[in-house]
C-alpha cells in the first residue's frame, strides 16, 4: 500500500479552532525573515541567542541580594 503525501492531511476546508486562536499572535514577518536565512545562518543566530540567555542567567546569579 502506497501513501500519497496528502493522504494524512486534513481537507483544505478544515479549520482548527486552536490553530486559529494562536494564528493572530504569529508574526509572519519574522517567519519569512528566518526562512530567507540558510540553515547555517539560522544556527548561528540561535547560538547567539543562546549565548545571550546564558549571560543573562549568569548576571542574575551574580547579582547581590537586595536587603528588604
Of the candidates 57, 58, 61, 30, which has an alpha carbon nearest to the alpha carbon of residue 45? 30
Report d(CA 59, CA 65) in Å as an integer.
12
Confirm whether 14 is domain-assigned: no
Report d(CA 49, CA 29) in Å as an integer.
19
How many whole angstroms from its chain centre is CA 50? 13
Confirm whether 48 is domain-assigned: yes
DSSP 8-state symbol, 37: S
* Number of domains the chain is built from: 1
Interval 32-58: pLDDT, tens: 999 999 999 999 999 999 999 999 999
Confirm whether 2 is domain-assigned: no
- 7 pLDDT exceeds 80? no
Instruction: Give me the domain span that covers residue 36.
Output: 26-60
Confirm whether 8 is domain-assigned: no
Q: pTM of the predicted model, to two decimals?
A: 0.54
Amino acid at each position: 500500500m502506497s501513501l500519497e503525501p496528502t493522504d494524512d492531511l486534513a481537507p483544505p476546508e478544515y479549520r482548527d479552532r486552536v490553530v486559529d486562536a494562536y494564528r493572530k499572535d504569529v508574526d509572519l514577518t519574522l517567519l519569512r525573515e528566518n526562512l530567507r536565512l540558510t540553515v547555517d545562518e539560522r544556527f548561528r543566530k540561535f547560538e547567539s541567542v543562546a549565548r545571550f540567555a546564558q549571560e543573562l542567567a549568569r548576571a542574575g546569579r551574580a547579582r547581590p541580594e537586595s536587603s528588604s
